[in-house]
Amino acid sequence: MPQKSYAVLVLLILATAVSACAHLGGGGDATAELRVENNLIPPTTLSVYALPDTGTRQLVGIVRPGATTDLSFSPRAAASYQFVAETTEGRDIVSPPINIRAGDTAEWDLDANIVLPQ
């Protein structure tokens, strides 16, 4: 009997923990999406960063050569961002600024260096 009670208690604790995590993380769409079109010549892998108007840059993801990749990040409320694509050769491509907030989607064409809201 004590083992059965212990198992039920463990299951209740796990269920409560999972529910709390889902509640904390599921309070709406707290991320913004960035679609990156890596159409650079010569082809290169990119590390993409989000750079707020004040603060430090945050790694958003990696984009393979010739690929279009959807990345997500958690923007601060009503902030202006630039995106930085760092090539494997050490070259940085910096986007023009764009205002972006949670729930927004933007597309970055690297060859033209244009970021457009979607």
User: What does the block give as tokens for 24?
Assistant: 């904390």
Close Cβ partners of 61 (under 8 Å, ≥ 6 residues apart): 47, 48, 69, 71
Q: For the chain, list residues with pLDDT below 50.
A: 7-27
**pLDDT of 27:** 46
User: What does the block give as tokens for 62?
Assistant: 């990696």
**pLDDT of 43:** 94
**pLDDT of 94:** 97
**pLDDT of 46:** 97
pTM over 0.75? The answer is no
Q: Cβ(86)–Cβ(99) under 8 Å?
A: no
**pLDDT of 3:** 57
Three-class secondary structure of residue 62 per DSSP: strand
**pLDDT of 60:** 97
Q: Which helix (H) or strand (E) holds 81?
A: strand 79-87
